[in-house]
Structures are given as structure tokens and as C-alpha cells.
Amino acid sequence: ISSLKGQNVLITGASSGFGWYSALNFAKYDSNLILFARRMERLEKLKEEIRILYPTISVRIYKVDVSNKQSIEEAFKQVNTDIKRIDILVNNAGLSQGSDPLRTISEESIDIMINTNVKGLVWVTQLVLPGMLQRNSGHIINVGSIAGLNTAPVLSVYGATKHAVHALSESLRIETVSSNIKVSEICPGLAETEFGGVCFNGDEEKEDQIYGNMELLTGQDVADMILFIASRHPRCVISQAVILPVSQANTFVVHRQ
Ligand code: NDP
């Protein structure tokens, strides 16, 4: 995919799952990488893996907590001195917290999900977009979820944050329609990453109720879709892509063996 060669790609949440595999995918096609996450040791590991596999690729890693505006702003001071431009932004960092119903979900869980999945995405976008507008080019790929298109019991606030990602993607596409900037939303279904472990804080029994007895998407499946979205001709944008395991019909309807 020659169009990705030399492109500077910023991926949030690159220390695991979709972000990790996306970093490897973009490196394979000669893009340079700017990687954000809180776990620096993971980013160091990924950087080393990429150095061995694709030694010519530039990989810059930054410790960023996207739920904290100050952390993002500090990182961007460094990013802006290190790199001239960001061509592709993959807003991927995100998480869910437990499966409590709306009536009992804690203030803390609500804040963590909204600050990370919604505000974090907005803050990072606000720092990348001006440069894209100035150059009249760029691509923002937001990782939403099938839970952003329909919902299920127990998803309450997580579903709301992903509905917000959907609305933000639509709004931004309208805002930028007179430019060459592309805005895409990818909506994956159930996937095997660290997401379930984070959501249920390591409680395997609870995780198994949601993720067990079915063949899940892999991180690679989703990263391949992100790569496909990022590599289309400048004249076209994949505005929204939904990718599900074959035994999932929507957020709620899942066939388990
Ligand atoms: P993982 O848990 O494997 O990866 C999540 C990534 O987000 C990690 O790199 C983590 O890095 C990062 N992250 C979380 N919170 C923060 C934060 N405050 N600041 C910076 N980075 C953060 O999950 P996935 O790869 O599955 O998730 C990626 C995206 O896909 C999320 O937005 C998720 O909502 C979405 N999604 C996942 C699905 C699934 O079933 N797995 C289905 C549909 C959508 P670190 O902890 O090092 O900061």
C-alpha cells in the first residue's frame, strides 16, 4: 500500500489490542509512528519489536493519559517539536468498567469512561486538527464500537460513550466537508484483547459470560480494517465500518456454543 509510505501516524492506546496491531500494520507499510499510552514499558517493547522487524521506521513513544487534558497537552508540546505533521490520527484509546446497571454504576466508573472514551478523543483531536486544516489533508479514524450503534443491558455508560464517538465522528465529517480531511469511524464487535480483563478487573468468570463460548474477533482483524480504511484513494472515505464476529448480530444478539 504505497500511499502509507512516509505518513506520520498517531495511535492512542498503542500498548495493547487494536492499537498494538495497528502500529505493526502501519510500520509494515512504511509509516512513521507516534504512539500514546500510559504503560511506557509496553510501548518500549513494541518499539523494540518494530525496530527488529522494520528497522527504517521512526517510532516515537509518549506516556499519555488521555483522560487527563494536561497530560495530553504536555505530550503535544514534545510531539510538536519532534514531528512536523500528523497525517493520520487513530483515536483508539478506550475502556469499559464493569457491568453495573445504570441505577448503581459508580461515579468513578462513569468519570473514567467519559473522560477516556469521549473527552480524551476530543482533546487529542483538537490538538491534531488545526495542522490538518492548515495543510488541507489528513485522516482521523475514531475507534467506536457496535455498542455505539445499538446497545445492550449492562452497557449503559460505556454504550453512551461509544454513541458519543459516533456522533462526534458524524459532526466532524460535517465540519470538515469543505476540506480534504477524512473522518472515519470503525465499530468493532466482541474482540479478544485486554479489554475484557480491564472491564472486569481480572474477574475471569464475569469476563467469560461476555467473551466465552464463541469465536471472537482478533486484534489483528480490527487492525487490518483500520489499515484498509487508512489506505483508500484520496477521493473516497470509508465513513463507517462495522466489523463483527460471525456469531454476533448486533451489540445484544450473540450466539454462544
Ligand atoms: P485493550 O484494553 O487491549 O487496549 C486499550 C488501549 O487503550 C491500551 O493501549 C490502553 O493503554 C489504552 N488506554 C486506556 N485508557 C487510557 C488512558 N486513560 N490514556 C491512554 N491510553 C489509554 O482494548 P482494545 O484494543 O480492545 O480497545 C481499543 C478500543 O477499541 C477501545 O476504544 C475500545 O472501547 C474499543 N472496542 C473494543 C472492543 C473489544 O471487544 N475489545 C469492541 C469494540 C470497541 P494503557 O493502559 O497502557 O494506557
Say whether pLDDT at 95 is over 90.
yes
Pairing status of strand 8-12 against strand 32-37: parallel
| Predicted confidence (pLDDT) per residue in 1-38, tens digit | 889 999 999 999 999 999 999 999 999 999 999 999 99
Residue 248 pLDDT: 98
Structural domain includes residue 254: no
Tally of domains in the chain:
1
Structural domain includes residue 63: yes
Closest-lying ligand 1 atom to the alpha carbon of residue 144: 44
Instruction: Compute, in angstroms, the gap from residue 169 CA to the centroid of ligand 1.
Output: 18
Structural domain includes residue 68: yes
Structural domain includes residue 252: no
What's 75's domain CATH number? 3.40.50.720
Say whether pLDDT at 92 is over 90.
yes
One of 21, 29, 158, 211 is an active-site residue; which one?
Answer: 158
Question: Is the C-beta atom of 198 inside 6 A of ligand 1?
Answer: yes
Instruction: Compute, in angstroms, the gap from residue 222 CA to the centroid of ligand 1.
Output: 12
Cell output for 129: 486538527
Q: Reduce the DSSP state of residue 82 to 3 states and report it.
A: helix
| Predicted confidence (pLDDT) per residue in 108-135, tens digit | 999 999 999 999 999 999 999 999 999 9
Pairing status of strand 88-91 against strand 59-63: unpaired
Residue 57 pLDDT: 98
Structural domain includes residue 166: yes
Structural domain includes residue 231: yes
Say whether pLDDT at 153 is over 90.
no
Structural domain includes residue 257: no
One of 162, 182, 206, 211 is an active-site residue; which one?
Answer: 162
Structural domain includes residue 255: no
Closest-lying ligand 1 atom to the alpha carbon of residue 112: 18
How far apart, in whole angstroms, are the C-alpha atoms of residue 49 and residue 39? 16
What predicted TM-score, i.e. pTM, was given to this entire model? 0.99
Say whether pLDDT at 254 is over 90.
yes
Give me the domain span that covers residue 29.
2-243
8-state DSSP, 2: G
